[in-house]
Structure 1
C-alpha cells in the first residue's frame, strides 16, 4: 500500500473514528437526556398528584371533623328524633354535593350499627361494620385520630372504596361512635385519566405501611397472574416500606412485568404514596430508533442530520406534553400551589392559589410573599425564607394570609426546596384551615361550657330540697346530696358512701314490711331499664323514726347499659296529714249534704201533698189568677224536690258500693235502655265504636256517666235537625279516652267550664227543663275514678264533644 493510500486509509479511519465517537457521544447524550426528562416528568407528576390527592384527603378529613362536631353522644345512645336526624344528614348531604370524591358519609355507634348516613343507595339501611378491620382498630385504640382502610367494596353501592374514619369522643375523651367517609376511587381514577397520561405510563397509589395497592392506572388485567405474597422485592417496595418521603429508580412490575422508571412521593399526613412510572422501553424507544438511523448515518451523513432533527422534534414534543400535563395539574389542584425564588418573588402559581388570595387567576398581578403573608414582618421574612431553602427538607407550618380585600385566613403551608439550574426555588402548597381553626375554637368553647354546666349541676345538687342518692349496679351508695343526709338523719354525707341502699334508707313497703337487698324487685326493674314512681311507702331515719316518702328511681345508663340508679325522694309527712284532714272534711261535707237533702225532702213532700189537696178542694171556686198562683207554688215545690234529689245524687257519688273492673260496653248498653223512650221520641240516632275498654270503677256510676252525657245530647238538640250521638274511644298509653260527640246546640267556649258547676244552667228553664246538676255529677264520677272531663267543639259542624279520660287497670 502506497503512503498516499495509507494516509487516505488512516484519514478515513480517523474520520470514521471521529464520526463514530461523535455519534457515540450523541447517542449517550440522547439516552441520558431521555432518562433525565422522564425522571423530571415523573417527579413533577408525582409531586403534583401527591398534592392533589393529599388535598382531597384533607378535604374529606375536614368534612369528617365538621360532621363529628355536629354529632352528640345523645344522638347515638337513643333513637334520634326525626328533626335531629334530618339536620345531621342534611350536613352530610351538603358536603357530598360539594365534594364528589366521597361517595357516602356515615355515623356508627360503638356496636358498629349505622345510625345516620348520606349518599347513594339507602342511607338508612341496617349496616353493621363491627367485622371491618378499620372499625376494630378504632375500638382497640380510641386515641387513634384517624384511620384509612384497605380497598374494599361498598356494601351500599358495590363500588371500590377506601374508608377514612375518625373516632367520636365526648367531653371526657371517651369513644361514643365513629364517623367515616367512603372515598370514591373511581373519582380519583377519572381525575388521573383527565391528565392525558400515556398508555404505558403507570400511576399507582400504595400504602406506605403495607405496600398494598390502593389504585392503579392502567387497571391490572383480571386474567394476568398475581405475584405470590412476599415475591415482590423491588427497589420501589423497599423504598416505600423504608419510610422515605420520595425516591426514584427502575423496577419491574410483578403485575404486567414491564420495566419502568419510577418516582414515588409519600403523602405527608397519610400512609399513602403516589407512584408515577414510565416504561423504559417507551422512554428509550426514540433513542433506539436514533441508534438505528445513526448506524446508517455513518454512511450517509445527510440521513444522520435528518434523524437528528427528528430526535430534536420528538424531544420538544415530549417536553411540551409534560408542560401541558403540569399546567393541567396546576389548574385543577384544590390546594394553593405556588413557586417562589429565594427573595420571595412569586414565579408561578395554580389558579386555586390566586383564588385563595382573592385575585383573578386570568389576570394575576406580580406578587411577593410580603404581599400576602401577614404573620412575619418585612424584617423577619427574608431570614425565614433562607431557613426554609437552606434546610433542604420538607417543612410544614401554619401562618396567616391576607386576601386582596383585607380579610385574614388561617393557612397551613407545606414547602419543599429545589435547586433548578443553580437557582434556589421554594415549592409550596397552601391549604385554608380557617374552618379547622374555628372548629378547634368551638371545641375549646364547648369544653368550657361543659365545665360551667358541671359546676352549675353540682351547685343544684348541693342545694336541692329533695334527697338525691346515686347507686352503682351493686346497690351501693356512690353519691348523696346534703338534703338526703338531713332527711334520713345521717350526720355527714361521707358516712353514707359505700353503704348498701336499703341500709341507708331503711326502706319499708306500704304494709310496713322491711325491704332487703335480696328482695328488692324495684332495683332489679330499674337495672332492666324501668323507671319507678312510688308513693305511700316509708323510709327509716337513722334514729329509727319512720317517715312516709314519695320517690322516683330511674336507671343510670352508659351507652344504653344500666350501670346504676338515681333515687330522688322527699318527706311527705306534712302532706299526708293535710290529706287526712281533707278527707275527713270532705266526708263531713258529703254526710251533711246527704242528711240535709234527705231531711228537706220530707217537709217538701208534705207541702206538695197539701198543695194538691188544696187544688182539688177549691177546684171551680178559684179565679184564673188564683189558679195560676197555686200552679206556680206546686211547680216551685216540684222543682225544689228535683234540686234536692240532684243534690242527694251528687253527694252519693263515690259512696255507691265497691269499685271493681267494669266493662264500659255493658254500662253503655244499660244507659241506652234507660234512655230508649227519650231517644225514640226525638228520633235520635246513637252509635258507638265496638269493644269499649274495661276500667276500674263503680258500675252504677259508669252507667250514670253515659246516661247523663247521652241524655243531655238528646235533650239539648237543635229543633231543625234530628239528634245524632256517637261514642268513640282510643288508647292514650296509661289512660283510655272516651268521647261523646253530638250535633246539638253546642256550648260557647267561655261557658264550657261553668257547665260543670252544680246548679248552673246555660239554657233558660222556660225553654228546657232541668236542674243543672247532671254535668256536675259526671265530673265528680270521672274525678273519683282518677280521670278528667272537658268539652271541645267538633272539627266540622255544630254540636259539642265531651272528652273523658279514665286510668287503665294496672296489671299485677
Structure 2
C-alpha cells in the first residue's frame, strides 16, 4: 500500500476552523446519517452515500474495496466516469461524499467544482503530488486532497471523515451567518460588530439608516464618519471597557450608543433617542409652565389691589404664553402702546365695549365680567386664531384674582373709614348710656316719691280711721300698702340692673371666703326665720367686683333659703373646685327645686314660676346673677340634682376677661309664655 500523504490546509481553511470551533458538537451528525439498528439488537451503523467520479476502473475498484471495509458504516456507492455524468446525477440526489478524480476525460476536477459547486464533502484524488493543484482544489471547494499512489484504507477513511466534518462545519457556519444576517435585518436598532482597530466586521441596515451612511459596509473604519469624532463615542471605543454615549447626527437626530466588549472586538448598539428626548423636552417645558402657573397663582393670591394683578399678568405672560399681555381695568384710559396705526381696529373694538372674546388686529380680546359687571379686559398679542393651551387657565387665574382684589379694595375702603365711624358710634353710645343711667336714677327717684306718699297717707288713714272701717275696707288698705311696698322693691331691682352698666368700683383681688361670711351676716335674719343652715367649703381669691358678687351670693343663697319645702329646714352647701384655668362653683339645696323644662326660663328677667302668695319676689334675682357671672367671663346653669332640691353651677375664669368687667355683655330677654308653676 502507498504511504498516506495528506496535504496541509491553506490559511483560509485554518481560519474557518478557528472561527467555527464552537460548531464542533455538530460534527458527529454531519459525518454521516444514522442507519437503523441491525435486526436482533445489533450495533448501530451510520449510512454514507459516496459518489465516485473516476474514469479508471482499477482506481474505482480500489475505492470500493476500501470503502466497504470500514466498520460501523453502511456505505452506498454511485459511480460516474465523466464530469457531465456526475453533474447530472447530482441534480437528482446529492451524496454525502464525492471522491473526485482530478483528471477526467471531459474536464478537470477543478473545473467540475467551479461549474457544479456540489453541496457535499469533496475529496480530490490525483496521480501526482502537486502542491499547486492541492491549493486550487481547496479554493474551488474541496475539503481535502489525496495522492492515489500513497492511498491506504486508513488514509481514505481519515480524509473522508475530515471532509465530512469540514463540510458540516461550513454548512453550520453558513447557516449561522444567514440567521445572523436575518436577525440583524429584523432588528430596528442598529448593531455594529467592530474589531480591535475599530473596523466594521458586520452591521445591519438599521445601523446604516441611523448613522445616515447607506454606503457603510463591512471592512470600513467606523471613524471614517467624521461627525462621530465630535462625540464621546470614540473615547468609549478606545477605552475598550464598554459604556454609552449620546450622538447628535448631522440630520439632527439623537442616537444613544451602548458599547459592549466582545471577543476580538466590540459590539455597538444604536437606537434612535430623538422621540424620548422630545418627550422629555416637552415634559420639562410643561413642568416649567406648571411651575410658572403655580408662581403666578401665588403672586395673584398675594395681590391686594387690581394694579398688582395687572402687573403680574404683564410680567408672567411672556414666559407662560410666549406672548405679550395687557390687562385693562374698567374706566382706565387705553395704554399709549396701542396708539400705533395697526392697533386702530383694536381701539375701535375696545371703545365699543366688547361683549365676547374676539380676534382683532393681531390681539385676542377677552372681556372679564363678574355678576354682569366688567372687571377688566385681557389682551393677548400674536396668539393666532385661537389662544394657546395655557391661555384659559391664565385667564381664569386673572379673573379670580381681579374679583378678589376688587373685594379687598372695597374692604380696605371700609377699613379706612372704620375707625372714624367706630369713634362716632362709641361717642353716641356713651351719650346714650349716660342718658340711660341718668334716666334710671331720675325715674327711680320720681317713681318712689309718689309711692312713699301713697304708702304714708294710706298708713295714716289706717291708723286714724282704722277702728271705724269694716273688714273689707281694712283689707283694701292692706292691699294698697303691700302694692306700694312691692312697687318700691321692683324699682330698687330695676335700679340694680341699670347699675351693672355704670362705672362701678374697679375689680380687686377679693377673698370669697370673707365675702360670703359678710353675705351670711346680712342673711342672718332669714336664717333665723327659716331655721336654715349654710355650709361653705374653701373658696378661692379672685379678681372681681366685690359689690356685684356680694349681690350674686345674696341672691343665690337667699333663694336657696327662701324656696324651701314646707316643714323642712333649708340646708345649703356652697363649694368650689379648680378645673384647668377656671373655678367651678356648686350650690346645692334641699328646697322645692326647679323642673328641667324651666331650667333656662328662671334666668330670664321678670320670669316667675310661682305666685306671690306662695313666694315673694319679682323674678329679677337670677337674671341679675347671670349678668354678673357673664360679665366676669363665666357662665351659670342648673342641673337636675341626684335627689331633692336644686343644683346650681357657675364657672369663673382664673383671670378676668380683657373686656371691661363693669360693662357685661347682656343677653336680651327672651319672650316666654306667662306660665305659673305650683309644686305639688
Task: State TM-score, norm by structure 1.
Answer: 0.30
Task: State TM-score, norm by structure 2.
Answer: 0.35
Q: Which structure features the higher share of helix residues?
A: 2
Larger Rg belongs to: 2
